Amino acid sequence: MKSDKKLIDENGKRLDGRGPDQLRNIKIEAGVLHRADGSCYLEWGGNKVIAAVYGPREAIPKHTQNPLKAIVKARYNMAAFSVDDRKRPGPDRRSQEISKVTSEALEKIVLTDQFPRAAIDVNIEVLDAEAGTRCAGLTAAGVALADAGIPMRDIPVACAAGKIGAENNDGMFSGGFVVLDLGKEEDNFGNADLPIAIAPRTNDIILLQMDGHLTFDEFEHALDLAMKGCQEISKLQKEALLRRYKSDVEVEE
Ligand code: UDP
């Protein structure tokens, strides 16, 4: 969507005061649910997300089983009260799409061949949404999977970069700034959004989507920013897991 709203000033300062390469505030807590095998609560700007992992356990119905490896079933759900205009409860095309790409991304990183015929269920519930919920959900899922002790190549992490503030001259986009981690207004009125997920140790890309238009150079810049964002968030994921582990050890002592 295009608007005359000024999303960034001449000095690169954004509406919420962030610079072009700054993330919104992120808080991560691992192990928040007692009945799940692994869980995570994550706040990312105005997003609030819970991820709960169950399994590995026998995949049901049986015809969904793969005799050679586990299936990873991510289910992304946005609560009706999570957005300004109440969302109709239940699955819709958008949540099905996000569930599918999240499942595929996680399947690349979980060592699925260790659990033939099993299912690993990853439930992602968005309680409060403010742009970037697929990245927040996948990042929380990564922590919840690690909390559940699921063997993985790495802890997956996601982040987006995008383009805002381009001028529209007769339908042509020109100028604009490539920035990290679009906020709500930037997502609504910006020109492009590039969410990615990676395996942070190797920088292997496990999810890449793009909404809007970027030139090749802008794409490279946005990808580089999103990768750096992922690395920053990866540290927060590990800190959250260490805090969780330490609190368990203290309780046992
Ligand atoms: N959104 C909304 N109602 C909906 C779906 C989305 O208000 O039914 C908002 C929500 O804040 C979301 C944003 O639009 O975070 C952007 O949605 P998008 O599909 O781009 O996914 P996201 O950026 O959350 O990964």
Residue nearest to atom 1 of ligand 1 (CA): 83
Query: How close is the Cα of 129 to the center of ligand 1, in Å?
Result: 7
Q: Does ligand 1 have an atom closer than 6 angstroms to the CB of 131? A: yes
Q: Does ligand 1 have an atom closer than 6 angstroms to the CB of 83? A: yes
Residue nearest to atom 7 of ligand 1 (CA): 83
Express each pLDDT in 169-184 by its tens digit.
554 455 789 999 999 9
Query: How close is the Cα of 84 to the center of ligand 1, in Å?
Result: 11
Express each pLDDT in 215-233 by its tens digit.
999 999 999 999 999 999 9
Query: How close is the Cα of 184 to the center of ligand 1, in Å?
Result: 8
pTM tops 0.85: yes
Q: Does ligand 1 have an atom closer than 6 angstroms to the CB of 94? A: yes
What pLDDT was estimated at residue 10? 80
Q: Which helix (H) or strand (E) holds 141?
A: helix 133-147
What pLDDT was estimated at residue 42? 98
Residue nearest to atom 3 of ligand 1 (CA): 83
The set of residues, in sequence order, having a beta carbon less than 8 Å from that of 198 and lying 6+ positions away, is: 156, 157, 158, 204, 205, 206, 227, 230
What pLDDT was estimated at residue 242? 97
Q: Which helix (H) or strand (E) holds 233?
A: helix 216-252
Helix, coil or strand: residue 165? coil
Q: Does ligand 1 have an atom closer than 6 angstroms to the CB of 128? A: no
Give me the mean pLDDT over the 50-71 stretch.
Answer: 97
Domains, the chain: 26-252 (3.30.230.70)
The 8 Å CB, 24+ separation contacts for 17-23 are 18/179, 18/183, 20/177, 20/178, 20/179, 20/180, 20/225, 21/179, 21/180, 21/225, 21/228, 22/180, 22/181, 23/159, 23/180, 23/181, 23/229, 23/232, 23/233
Express each pLDDT in 23-59 by its tens digit.
999 999 999 999 999 999 999 999 999 999 999 999 9
- The tokens of 144 are what? 């919840």
Query: How close is the Cα of 49 to the center of ligand 1, in Å?
Result: 13
Query: How close is the Cα of 140 to the center of ligand 1, in Å?
Result: 17
Residue nearest to atom 9 of ligand 1 (CA): 131
Q: Among candidates 126, 122, 104, 121, which has minimal Cα distance to 45? A: 126
Give me the mean pLDDT over the 75-93 stretch.
Answer: 96
What pLDDT was estimated at residue 12? 84
Query: How close is the Cα of 156 to the center of ligand 1, in Å?
Result: 21
Q: Among candidates 44, 98, 13, 17, which has minimal Cα distance to 232? A: 44
- The tokens of 251 are what? 């309780």
Query: How close is the Cα of 16 to the center of ligand 1, in Å?
Result: 19
Helix, coil or strand: residue 121? strand
Cα separation of 41 and 238, whole Å? 14
- Model confidence at 3: pLDDT above 70: no
